[in-house]
Chains A and B, each alone.
Chain A
Amino acid sequence: MTDFEVPDVEYSRYTNRQLAAIPLAVLAVALLIIAGWYVVTGVPVTPGIDFTGGTELQISASDSPDQIEQTFESQLPYEVDSVVESGDSYIVTIQATEQSEVNEIMNTAEEEGYTVQSAQTRSAAFSTDAQRQALIGVAVAFVGMSVLTFVLFRTFVPSIAIVVSAFSDIMIPVALMNVFGIPLSLGTVAALLMLIGYSVDSDILLNNSILRRRGDFYESTYRARRTGVTMTLTSIVAMVVMTIFSSPLVFGIPLLPDIGLILVFGLTADLMNTYLLNVSLLRYYKYEGVAG
């Protein structure tokens, strides 16, 4: 049976500090980006219309994005946030939340010869509430996962290793959302929650292999890593394929690219966190922390 070409990390050549340095540095950069974003824009990550309220139209038109923006702004009193190309149509985001305004916008679009393929409106009140709920949802999921982890392993260091790693798995994609300009939507929130579940798999596998099995630390790590890397890579491949096919460049299906991309970011971060941060914490626990 052949193996993936996993770079064979010679863990024994590096100290725990050296191993943990990279993921912790990446996490620090991610947190800095999020904090910086918060200082500059007032929010840790830019919310999309799901959380701010607004109207999103998908139209097919022969005009250029600039022309579309001008048409809407000259005909209507509402501000056009953006016009983005998606496949053979455009996604237009407009700051209007009342149903009468939406009817007006749809009628204007049709008078201008655009075909309205889809229209979504979220009111400000609904969105504020969605934001609160989403935040509570992520917090509850994270706390629930943490509690469950402690119940499963009943020892501090290995449990906290999983929790820290899952935290980083969420923070890194959030920072990358800011970098790549992906707004926070219901889809991305779902993906972040999914990450909590997904990323913990390989951590549990590693912890279980090292703590609950007989045998040498490096051998256990190697075995868990071989299985874990296969798992995570398979998931990454699945999500990359889903993201590419559903992206505006190919099929232009909503929701799926958001979920896919966030999971790709998070799972990649998880490879690093599990096999550098988690391993170093477990080695510390196994060789030095036991007495304490």
Chain B
Amino acid sequence: MSRNFSLRENWRIVLLVLIVLGSAVSIFAPVGNGGSAQNATVENASESATAGPTNLQFGLELSGGTRIRAPLVGMTAEDVGFNGSDPQGQAKLERALTNELSLSPQDVRVQPTSQNSGTVEVFNENVTQEEFARALQNQGKDVQTDDIRDGVTDKTLETAEGVLDRKVTGAGLSGGEVSISRSTTGDEAFIVVEVPNKQPEEVVDLIDERGTVLVVAHFPVEQNGTKTYRNVQLFTQEGIKSVDPADQPRGGRPGVPITLKQDAAKNFSNAMREFGFLSQPPCTYAANKNDSGHCLYTVSNGKVVNGTITKGEIVSAASMGDLSTKMKRGDFVDDPRFRITSANLSEAQNLALDMRAGALPTTLNIDEGTSTYIQPSLAEKFKLLSLVTGLFTMLAVAGTVAYRYREPRIAVPMVVTAAAEVFILLGFSAAIGLAIDLSHIAGFIAVIGTGVDDLVIIADEILQQGDVSTNRVFRSRFRKAFWVIGAAAATTIVAMLPLAALSLGDLQGFALITIVGVLVGVLITRPAYGDVIRNLVLD
């Protein structure tokens, strides 16, 4: 090449080489993920090998497993007027709405967003927007049906994301991931749950219930001379401070030891006193379900509406036992430890998982979403085969360019530059931890195509008839070529932006890679190729 290669004149090539090296580091350098790097001082080679030879992360389509994407059930009234710094007033509004709409306490949520207003959400499919608006109007709120939108607030979405994440992790589904997918227009949001190596049925079983754990007081009351049973919700997971692992003491029943928060403990204790639990005979649920006396029910995924348990499963019915004495002495509030029993150990473990993960603020509407399952072996096959497809595409492009220019000095750098572009994109993906899916692969291949197109423009413009004798001529020609490339890049980006912005899921990756690819091309690789050509022609 040139006899005196000046770093200053060829800084674009130098920059390209540096960025390619950086990408290589990002792709191949062993990265300690979490604690494993520190622990693995002895055998770090074999440790990192288990994760594959690169830092690239692959999405579901290339690694296998299940992805469920679903919206949350619910509707929201925004900017409802109420005192934002009055939690008691908010709780009162919640209770009023709960009663009026015949819902359980978990189905209504009032949240302040400013001093004098906030959002009100209802998480129940059976309530219409009209009914919701009317109930709010009856509470003196100025809300019309049109003010109510489908969907939940960001806070609710984030709560749901956190709960699901704890559930997936807690259930030992390694590699499982939960995220929120939003359209940039903001009117649509989905929860996305991805679990490697599992079939949809297992994942759905884990996430399709809210996972509410209710402890309910079940007791008889006399009304006009007849005995009826009432149910009063005592506390949910939210009242629980800590949860110990489920266990089964020798000779005892399986259960989960928990510690309540002070507020919940106080409420619990007061309610027990008020409902007469402290002086009653033990619960006889096992012998006589319909007339069991005073019992503490643990209800999973249930709801209590107007004194009746309308949904869910009673996992255990227990007597007060030692609790009575403790509450009588007044010790309970200071030492609010308590044991929730259940029929068998696996149920106890499920309870513990639900209590730790917390309850979902609302149900996932799985039937209005999408589910994708890919067998891990098929996904592995896709990974290998799409790599091969990419390589063949690259070869075909190289062949075409070689045939067109018949001049290795022009064609070889062209192909190498285009390959560098893809390599940089891979480095970018590894660096930001992008999970590569088929749509990204399509994007990579598309980038080879557009990349070479632009290099052809540069080569043809600079090599047109008439010698490029000086740097000045070169620069003017390069600038002309660059105008076309820049304009073409701008149109590609404009065409891809809607795809990157919409929540079409699978295609966001394709659009993202294409846009980043075009930017890398215009800013880094194509100017560098210009320098390469200059070295050739000015020699």
Residues of A at under 8 Å CB distance from B?
1-2, 4, 58, 97-99, 102-103, 106-107, 115-123, 125-126, 129-130, 133-134, 136-138, 140-142, 144-145, 148-149, 152, 186-187, 189-190, 193-194, 196-198, 200-201, 204-205, 208, 212-213, 223, 226-227, 230-235, 237-242, 245-246, 251-256, 259
Contacts and interface: CB of A to CB of B under 8 A. Distances in A.
Interface residues of B, number: 80
A136 B382 CA distance: 31
B397 A115 contact: no
A263 B4 CA distance: 44
Contact of B200 (A2, A103, A259): A103
Given A190-B507, A256-B442, A256-B445, A251 B388 contact: yes
A115 to B, nearest CB: 7
B357 to A, nearest CB: 21
A234 B375 contact: no
A193 B496 contact: yes
Interface stretch (B31-39, B87-95, B361-369): B361-369
B399 to A, nearest CB: 8
Interface of A: prevailing SS: helix
A-B pairs, top 6 by smallest CB distance, nearest first, are A197-B492, A137-B498, A196-B495, A144-B494, A197-B495, A241-B396
B457 A227 contact: yes
Contacts of B193: none
Contacts, number: 243
A239 B438 CA distance: 15
A194 B514 contact: yes
Interface of B: 61, 69, 183, 188, 199-201, 204, 208, 366-375, 377-378, 382, 385-386, 388-389, 392-393, 395-397, 399-401, 404-407, 438-439, 441-442, 445-446, 448-450, 452-454, 456-457, 460-461, 463-464, 480, 483-484, 487-488, 490-499, 502-507, 510-511, 514
A58 B378 contact: yes
A43 B405 CA distance: 46
Nearest to A162: B491
B499 A126 contact: no
B453 A231 contact: yes
A262 to B, nearest CB: 11
A238 B369 CA distance: 35
Contacts of A99: 200, 204, 208, 366-367, 371
Given A187-B507, A237-B400, 16 more contacts: A1-B405, A1-B407, A4-B404, A120-B373, A126-B369, A134-B504, A138-B498, A145-B494, A189-B504, A201-B491, A204-B487, A205-B457, A231-B457, A238-B396, A239-B449, A246-B389
B442 A122 contact: no
Contacts of B445: 238, 242, 256
A115 B382 CA distance: 17
Given A141-B496, A197-B495, A235 B449 contact: yes
A123 B461 CA distance: 51
Given A119-B371, A234-B401, A255-B442, A102 B449 contact: no
Contacts of B507: 186-187, 189-190
Contacts of B483: 208, 212
Given A117-B378, A234-B397, A141 B371 contact: no
B504 A130 contact: yes
A254 B483 CA distance: 37
A152 B487 contact: yes
A112 to B, nearest CB: 16
B379 to A, nearest CB: 8
20 contacts: A1-B406, A1-B463, A106-B373, A118-B373, A118-B375, A119-B200, A137-B499, A138-B498, A140-B498, A141-B499, A186-B506, A200-B488, A204-B488, A227-B457, A227-B460, A231-B452, A237-B396, A239-B449, A242-B392, A245-B392
Contacts of A239: 449
A67 to B, nearest CB: 22
Contact of A194 (B399, B446, B454): B446
Nearest to A89: B378
Contacts of A4: 404
B486 to A, nearest CB: 9
Nearest to A123: B368
A98 B70 CA distance: 12
B488 A241 contact: no
Contact of A193 (B366, B377, B454, B498): B498
A196 B404 contact: no
Contacts of B199: 106
Residue in B372, B405, B406 whose Cβ sees the most chain A Cβ within 10 Å: B372
A97 B61 CA distance: 20
B385 A136 contact: no
Contact of A137 (B450, B461, B502): B502
Nearest to B69: A126
A149 B491 contact: yes
A152 B489 CA distance: 12
Nearest to B510: A190
A174 to B, nearest CB: 16
Contacts of A2: 404, 406
